[in-house]
Chains A and B, each alone.
Chain A
Amino acid sequence: MKRFADLFTALDSTTKTNAKVAAMADYFAAAPADDAAWATYFLAGNKLRRLVPSKLLRQWAAAEAGIEDWLFDESYHAVGDLAETLALVVPPGESRQDQSLTHWVQQRLMTLRGREELALQRAMAEIWAETTVEMRLVIMKLITGAFRVGVSKRLVTRAIAQQAGIPTDVVAHRLMGDWKPSAAFFQRLVDPDTLDTQVSQPYPFCLAHPIDIEKGPESVGEANEFVAEWKWDGIRGQVIRRQGQSFIWSRGEELMENRWPEVEAAAEQLPDGTVLDGEILAANADGTVLPFAQLQRRIGRKTVGKKLLREVPVVFHAFDLLEADGQDLRLQPLVERRRRLERLFEQVDHPHLRTTELIRGESWQQWAEVREGSRAQHAEGLMLKRRDSPYDVGRVRGSWWKWKVAPYTIDAVLIYAQKGHGRRASLFTDYTFALWDGDTLVPFAKAYSGLDDKEIRRVDQFVRRNTKDSFGPVRSVTPTLVMELAFEGLQRSTRHKSGIATRFPRIVRWRHDKRPQDANQLSELLQLLPEDA
């Protein structure tokens, strides 16, 4: 148990992803397989069903500490976490013998369930007597079921893969569905023989290069060498159907389980040996795509409730066919893959599965006009794909191009600054910008990128010399600096003071030529709002 408590402490005392992965990998290298299985289970967000009612835990802990209930409550208010309060309030015990994590879970914790009160209280007193504060914190967290330590399932997956020397997607595959933690399970999880996972294996994603908006598409070739599609703003993914099973992978090579039930259901209609590449989009039944802000409501949810499913349905817009009848099609030219994709969809009819539209056009000029309407479609611009190109691995130059519409831009005043992270930790690099509403400045966007190192140092100096006030880590500064901001989308928002949310705001340039009073008005930003947003 000490090893697992040490892992918890290590994870808890860093915000650096690599340090977390390294700490977990070290743990998995050292721990016996059954402990490693349980650690995986908890770190991936699973919990033991509530073992002891928390009301009783509080009472017994107070009694053990020799304090009245009100004093326990005061302590809880100061700590803000029940498990930690339980760990701190009871005088520390002494760990005489270090039992394994598995022993603790199976012999000490799971056996608590269903015991009668007196026996339960005695068992808790024993646990407290045998644990130091550090170890007790972890055990109380397992008992109360609130075991969170800032790692995602994906990070755990990475750590296991790194330690075992097998690909991350293999581990992700093996962690799918329901499984019971055991030594045998963990041994299978890290088995170097990865044949079992071929069924779920995605292909590396082909990525697009941006077209320089100033230069235009002429720089990449002739219009008749390309096909055009909308560049959607959704979740890129591969839908895999093999051996009667379906898998949906994100571009981050994360296996998305239970997140898109409509698409999972739709995938069942596909013949075995099919791999689609496409975009998951929030869309109405008639196919019209909803703004990204709607899709955002479903992103990051492990499970999706009925209400949300009804309000934000998603559709998988397939734009490529990578495998058909179990055959890898990636070396075939794009138009051939597209032809086979369309033929496949003649047999598949599902409201949550469709092919993306090819946009007719004979010349760059024609497409340029179509592209102007991107925002009305909730698209970011056009995708241009070379007709004869194979499906490349990664960001290969020349095959796929993204031709985004010019971003919105506006001149805003820097009013708050905060220190950055990592390399920028000691510099003020995270800025909040405001626009004028009459004679007051209303904050409307945060921007972190766009300035070079030299400019960042100058802004940092400025912030240090012109701080008006501090709120926690945030400095408010004398409104002086004007910057031109660009952003992709606009959305009405009740959560923002300005009433408007910007998507992907960044700094285009520092407007040394402008004074704060020359910055734009909030009303000018509101005018940019699309009609239906």
Chain B
Amino acid sequence: MIADAAKPATTSPLEDVLSVTDRGLYCAAGDFYVDPQRPVDHAVVTHAHTDHARWGCRRYLAASDSEHLLRMRMNKDAEFQFLPYGETITIRGVRVSFHPAGHMLGSAQVRIEHRGRVAVAMGDYKLDADPTCADWEPVRCHLMITESTFGLPIYRWKPNDVTAGEINDWWRANRDAGRCSVLYGYAVGKSQRLLAMLDPAIGPIFTHGAVEKGVAAYRDTGVGLPPTRYVGAVEGKPDWSGAMVVAVPSAHGTPWMRRFGKVSTAMASGWMAVRGARRRRALDRGFVVSDHVDWPSLIEAVNTCDPETLWVTHGYSAVVARYFQSQGRHAVVIDGRSRSEEEDEASSSSSSDREDSE
């Protein structure tokens, strides 16, 4: 289903629809920001990761599915408004709607229409199937803003069930060898997707505190996840062998890990596609699980939405822009957002952890 851009009757220049400012993407006509990088009055946010939903704004507008996550993570005194996918709200004559981005629970593309011109800010997105969130939908637009975290042809994701099989095989082998499996993923989004990939028949599943909070928000939103237990709520000295612990990357190598005894550790991240990134960490395994578009999906998304203008941000922006230029498309780099900030929890231990942010 492709939501059609309204036929342009009178066109407005793109700058009225969206422009790049030092606070982030700004819609002048509607006087709101999309994923502002600093506290502003009116923020429209694509998803609940903290480099997109910045703490301290006065009003937040987001997709309904992100309600539990946003209320958990943002300032309590803020004013929230939530809108189901596909429904339109008009802000000072600007039509705003959310469409699934497939990145995580509640993640959305923001469609902004003003006087017949349509801009779509994708936020972070992926095209692969993910049982913990709604599937990405293409939206026709004049201006598309895409991320480029994995915007190189070396990044190609395997189907979700293939990777899930790899993870479960690893877990099973660890269980049979009497080891505890510790799987690292970003606290919100990635971890819950990982949980959904696990086969609870293999053994009990435990969560790190930061992960458990996200799990609660997912369950409250109605996402089906296998039964989990919070590590911190476990009493006594249980036998951890055969268990699966889903934790944040910053837990690696900390005293918190000692309780598990013999462990095998693995990281789930798109970066794990490259051997050097796997080897730099002293981890036993690296699984390629990403909530961002890989190279073929990125190309598919852009060609399907077919914008007149493409803005590229967040990652290999220059490479992706140059690639689309070579394909005859008008593509521009609009970098501003730094990668490192998404990683609010994992960045504390080392600089290399920072790349894990997804």
B257 near A78: Cβ-Cβ < 8 Å: no
Q: Are A470 and B349 CB-contacts (below 8 A) given A13-B285, A75-B154, A85-B154?
A: yes
In the complex, chain A residues whose CB is within 8 Å of the CB of B258: 426
Complex CA–CA separation, A74 to B321 (angstroms) = 13
Q: Are A472 and B350 CB-contacts (below 8 A) given A14-B284, A426-B255?
A: yes
B326 near A88: Cβ-Cβ < 8 Å: no
A71 within 8 A of B: yes
Chain A 389-427: CB-based contact to B (< 8 A → 1; otherwise 0)? 000000000000000000000000000000101000110
In the complex, chain A residues whose CB is within 8 Å of the CB of B152: 71, 74-75, 78
B153 near A71: Cβ-Cβ < 8 Å: yes
**Chain A: which residue is nearest B273 at the CB level?**
A88
A471 within 8 A of B: yes
B278 near A13: Cβ-Cβ < 8 Å: yes
B328 within 8 A of A: no
In the complex, chain A residues whose CB is within 8 Å of the CB of B279: 12
In the complex, chain B residues whose CB is within 8 Å of the CB of A53: none
A470 near B350: Cβ-Cβ < 8 Å: yes
**Chain A: which residue is nearest B326 at the CB level?**
A68
The listed residue (B154, B257, B278) touching A88 by CB distance below 8 A is: B154
Chain A CB within 10 A, most for which of B152, B279, B322, B323: B152
**How many chain A residues have a CB neighbour from B under 8 Å?**
31
B234 within 8 A of A: no
B10 within 8 A of A: no
Q: Are A75 and B153 CB-contacts (below 8 A) given A15-B282, A470-B349?
A: yes
B284 near A65: Cβ-Cβ < 8 Å: no
Complex CA–CA separation, A79 to B282 (angstroms) = 18
A426 near B154: Cβ-Cβ < 8 Å: no
A438 within 8 A of B: no
**How many chain B residues have a CB neighbour from A under 8 Å?**
30
**Chain B: which residue is nearest A473 at the CB level?**
B350
In the complex, chain B residues whose CB is within 8 Å of the CB of A70: 322
Complex CA–CA separation, A84 to B275 (angstroms) = 8
Q: Are A71 and B319 CB-contacts (below 8 A) given A79-B274, A426-B255?
A: yes
Complex CA–CA separation, A426 to B351 (angstroms) = 18
The listed residue (A74, A75, A92, A419) touching B253 by CB distance below 8 A is: A419
Chain B 154-175: CB-based contact to A (< 8 A → 1; otherwise 0)? 1110000000000000000000
A470 near B351: Cβ-Cβ < 8 Å: yes
In the complex, number of A-B residue pairs with CB atoms less than 8 Å apart: 70
A176 within 8 A of B: no
Give A460-488 interface residues, CB cut-off 8 Å to B: 470-473
Complex CA–CA separation, A405 to B185 (angstroms) = 53
A533 within 8 A of B: no
Give A50-79 interface residues, CB cut-off 8 Å to B: 65, 67-68, 70-72, 74-75, 78-79
Complex CA–CA separation, A425 to B257 (angstroms) = 11
Q: Are A71 and B154 CB-contacts (below 8 A) given A15-B282, A472-B350?
A: no
A469, chain B: closest CB distance, angstroms: 10
A74 near B276: Cβ-Cβ < 8 Å: no
The listed residue (B253, B274, B319) touching A426 by CB distance below 8 A is: B253
A67 near B153: Cβ-Cβ < 8 Å: yes
B323 near A472: Cβ-Cβ < 8 Å: no
In the complex, chain B residues whose CB is within 8 Å of the CB of A80: 276
B48, chain A: closest CB distance, angstroms: 27
Complex CA–CA separation, A353 to B88 (angstroms) = 91
A321 within 8 A of B: no
In the complex, chain B residues whose CB is within 8 Å of the CB of A437: none
In the complex, chain A residues whose CB is within 8 Å of the CB of B303: none
In the complex, chain B residues whose CB is within 8 Å of the CB of A15: 282
Chain A 32-60: CB-based contact to B (< 8 A → 1; otherwise 0)? 00000000000000000000000000000
A93 within 8 A of B: no
Dominant SS among interface residues on chain A: mixed
The listed residue (B276, B322, B350, B351) touching A79 by CB distance below 8 A is: B276
B11 within 8 A of A: no
Chain B 276-306: CB-based contact to A (< 8 A → 1; otherwise 0)? 1011001011100000000010000000000
Chain B 249-283: CB-based contact to A (< 8 A → 1; otherwise 0)? 00001110110000000000000011110110010
B338 within 8 A of A: no
In the complex, chain B residues whose CB is within 8 Å of the CB of A78: 152, 154, 274, 316
**Chain B: which residue is nearest A68 at the CB level?**
B326
B247, chain A: closest CB distance, angstroms: 13
B285, chain A: closest CB distance, angstroms: 6
Chain B 11-31: CB-based contact to A (< 8 A → 1; otherwise 0)? 000000000000000000000
B350 near A92: Cβ-Cβ < 8 Å: no
The listed residue (B153, B255, B275, B323) touching A89 by CB distance below 8 A is: B153
B352 within 8 A of A: yes
The listed residue (B154, B273, B276, B351) touching A471 by CB distance below 8 A is: B351
B153 near A65: Cβ-Cβ < 8 Å: yes
Complex CA–CA separation, A71 to B296 (angstroms) = 14
**Chain A: which residue is nearest B265 at the CB level?**
A425
B253 near A425: Cβ-Cβ < 8 Å: yes
B349, chain A: closest CB distance, angstroms: 7
A88 near B156: Cβ-Cβ < 8 Å: yes
Q: Are A12 and B275 CB-contacts (below 8 A) given A67-B153, A85-B154, A472-B352?
A: yes
In the complex, chain A residues whose CB is within 8 Å of the CB of B278: 12-13
Complex CA–CA separation, A265 to B352 (angstroms) = 50
In the complex, chain A residues whose CB is within 8 Å of the CB of B349: 470
Chain A 82-100: CB-based contact to B (< 8 A → 1; otherwise 0)? 0011001101100000000
Complex CA–CA separation, A71 to B323 (angstroms) = 8
A106, chain B: closest CB distance, angstroms: 27
A124, chain B: closest CB distance, angstroms: 17
Chain B CB within 10 A, most for which of A72, A79, A80, A91: A79
In the complex, chain A residues whose CB is within 8 Å of the CB of B155: 88
**Chain A: which residue is nearest B288 at the CB level?**
A133
In the complex, chain A residues whose CB is within 8 Å of the CB of B296: 91
In the complex, chain A residues whose CB is within 8 Å of the CB of B274: 78-79, 84, 88
In the complex, chain B residues whose CB is within 8 Å of the CB of A74: 152, 316, 319
Complex CA–CA separation, A156 to B205 (angstroms) = 38
A426 near B282: Cβ-Cβ < 8 Å: no
Top 6 A-B pairs ranked by shortest CB distance? A88-B154, A75-B154, A426-B253, A89-B153, A74-B319, A75-B152
> A12-B275, A80-B276 given. 18 additional CB < 8 A pairs?
A12-B278, A12-B279, A13-B284, A13-B285, A71-B322, A74-B319, A78-B152, A79-B154, A88-B153, A88-B154, A88-B274, A89-B154, A91-B156, A91-B296, A419-B253, A425-B282, A426-B257, A470-B350
17 A-B Cβ contacts within 8 A?
A12-B278, A13-B278, A71-B319, A75-B152, A78-B152, A78-B154, A78-B274, A80-B276, A88-B155, A88-B273, A89-B153, A91-B296, A426-B253, A426-B257, A470-B350, A473-B350, A473-B352
